[in-house]
Amino acid sequence: MSLVTLLPFIVLIGAMFLMTRSAKKKQQQAAAMRNDMQPGSGIRTIGGMYATVKEVNDDTVLVDAGPGVELLFAKNAIGAVLTDDEYNRIVHGIEHDLKSDAAVVPDDASSLTETPDTDGSADEAAAAPADKSVDLGKKDETEEPAAGADPAVEPKKADGDSGAK
CATH no. for residue 44?
Answer: 2.30.30
The listed range with the strongest mean pLDDT (7-11, 128-132, 135-139) is 7-11
- Mean pLDDT, the chain, rounded, equals 76
Please report which helix (H) or strand (E) contains residue 98, including its range. none
CA dist 62 and 55 (Å) reads: 5
| Mean pLDDT along residues 106-131 | 59
Is 33 strand, coil or helix?
helix
Question: Measured in Å, how far apart are the chain's first and last C-alpha atoms?
Answer: 92
Nearest to 37 by CA among 75, 6, 67: 75
3-state DSSP call for residue 134? coil
CB proximity list for 83: less than 8 A, separation 6 or greater: 42
Mean pLDDT of 26-33: 86
**pLDDT category, 51, cuts 50, 70, 90?**
very high
What pLDDT sits at residue 126?
52
Is residue 72 in some structural domain? yes
Q: What is the pTM of this model?
A: 0.47
The answer to whether residue 164 sits within a structural domain is no
Residue 12 lies in a domain: yes
Domain total of the chain? 1
Whether pLDDT at 71 is above 90: yes
Q: What angle do CA 152, 157, 158 make, to 5 degrees?
A: 145
In this prediction, what percent of the chain has a pLDDT beyond 90? 18
pLDDT at 105: 67
Indicate whether 125 belongs to any domain. no
Q: What is the pLDDT of residue 96?
A: 63
Q: Is residue 58 part of a domain?
A: yes
Residue-wise burial string across 138-156, b where 16 or more C-beta atoms lie within 10 A, e elsewhere: eeeeeeeeeeeeeeeeeee
Residue 35 has pLDDT above 90, yes or no: no
> What pLDDT is attached to residue 29?
86
How many Cβ atoms sit within 10 Å of the Cβ of residue 160?
5
Least confident of 4-13, 51-60, 114-123, 137-146: 114-123
Range of the domain at 37: 3-92
